[in-house]
Structure 1
Amino acid sequence: MTGELTARVGFKDTIPTAFGYIGIGIAFGIIGQSNHLSVLEIILMSLITYAGSAQFVIVSMAALHANILSIVLSVFLVNSRMILMSTVIAPYMKKESLLRNVWIGTLLTDETFALSMNKLNYTDHRLSYSWFNSANLTAYLTWFAASGIGGALGNLITNPEQFGLGFALVAMFIGLLYLQIITDKTIRLGIQLGVVGFVAVVMYLGLAVIPENILLLIAALLGCTFGVTLKHVLR
């Protein structure tokens, strides 16, 4: 990764992450096919919903014949973390038009957010619309293509759970967390590990009393607060 912020570099920076999209997208397509979605329905969901974790939730809840209100609410809660991520990105896009900001926010994902946070370490804390748009579009196109391929291959795998495909999304998040920790030199390693440990404890204890979708948002807010406090105390 370099300090350039052009569209070409945005595409290049996203390629390693795109391989993760390929694995997760194929896994989603296979799971969607095993739950009786057509290839067209899988592709349309990836194009319109475009949210890996939320798409897994939709498929699993639809298979259990959950009502539409429950599905919509669950998807909102799962994706509510994007509100927090967008507020972090917004200051770096304040010179861009409202339309451009909406477009960047629409295609923002966990992966492109993490990628942009890593990019800040090389650009003197600057981001550009060209770089971000290129990264988002590369991820978007890779995701829907991979999920379509997974849907087409779905008939060949009747029991995707036996291959652990449901864990693919978790594995990718672990990889992104690792990359964020090793590349961000502005925050001490001890502080980063402390925040990770704090969030892990909150999630572990909270799962006993709070629905996981709501707990995810609570843990994110508490983790941010704990991290900022720890940074000021130990600076």
Structure 2
Amino acid sequence: MNRRFLAGARSGFRTFLPLSIGLIPWALVTGVALTSGGLSVVEAMGMNLMVYAGVAQIATLPLIMGGAPLWLIGLTGLALNLRFLIFSAAIARGFRGMPLRLRIPSGYLLIDGVFALCTERLLKVHDRHWRFGYFVAPSVWGWVLWQVFVLTGVLGAGALPQGWSLEFMATIALMMILVPLSKNRSMLVAALTGGVASVLLRDIPLKLGVIVAILLGIVAGFVASRALAEHKEA
């Protein structure tokens, strides 16, 4: 750790801190859902550590509990996490000059909120130590916050009043993440396409409509990104 790394870490932490509060209800809901789905504390936290993606965990949990085919569970988790492939490609330039031993755990720590808030500035700074600190501080903070409150939800699931409507709080948390992402036109196109498609395809068996909607959103976002790039060059 040098002064440039610490300066970047402080700046990244301050940038992400307000949005990170939105992770708390989403983590609580995930913890409650894992326990309600029949998982033990060890199973729930093991899944949480390995997957580290709340949307994928909650979406695949009913399939796991219902005895769905393994291929469908895997496909659902893969489709829901495909956005991280796009995020990683978009933010990759910020890790130029960093060794593989740092890039691999950084991929595991990458979350929507950090990508939405930190990518633009990360790609503009030339100092690789500052860039890494700017990324890793909010990412580690988000990971710790997520693990702590998922565990809180797992342990306290039975004590939470049924009328608290934590699911609605989780929706608000996801909207807080979506708003910064929607500043990018291609991301907005992807979100609108995926959202509309998920509603239109909601009656497809085995919840495959969600997977199709995600793929359509990704394709639409990619096409929009290419079209915007070509328009700028013209």
Root-mean-square deviation (CA, aligned residues, Å) is 3.1
| AA at the equivalent of 2:22 | G
2:132 paired residue number: 129
2:192 paired residue number: 200
Residues 123, 180 of structure 1: CA spacing in aligned structure 2 closer, same or farther, 3 A cutoff?
farther
2:223 to 209, 222, 225: 225
1:30 lines up with 2:32 in the alignment: yes
TM-score by length of 1: 0.78
Identify which of structures 1 and 2 has the higher relative contact order when contacts are C-alpha pairs closer than 8 Å and 6+ apart: 1
Q: Distance in 2 between matches of 1:42 and 1:214?
A: 28
Q: Gaps (5+ residues) in structure 2?
A: 1-5
2:178 paired residue number: 177
Identity %: 22
1:143 paired residue number: 146
Q: Distance in 1 between matches of 2:112 and 2:51?
A: 14
1:107 is displaced (CA, Å) by 1.2
Secondary structure in structure 2 of the residue aligned to 1:66: coil
| AA at the equivalent of 2:105 | W
Q: Gaps (5+ residues) in structure 1?
A: none
Matches within 5 A, 1:38-49: 38-49=40-51
TM-score by length of 2: 0.79
Residues 217, 135 of structure 1: CA spacing in aligned structure 2 closer, same or farther, 3 A cutoff?
farther
2:104 paired residue number: 102
Matches within 5 A, 1:146-165: 146-157=149-160, 159=162, 163-165=164-166
1:87 paired residue number: 89
1:42 is displaced (CA, Å) by 2.2
Residues 39, 99 of structure 1: CA spacing in aligned structure 2 closer, same or farther, 3 A cutoff?
same
Q: Distance in 1 between matches of 2:139 and 2:225?
A: 27
Q: Is the 8 A contact 1:34 1:158 kept in 2?
A: no
1:14 is displaced (CA, Å) by 2.5
**Aligned positions, number:** 221
Q: Is the 8 A contact 1:81 1:220 kept in 2?
A: yes
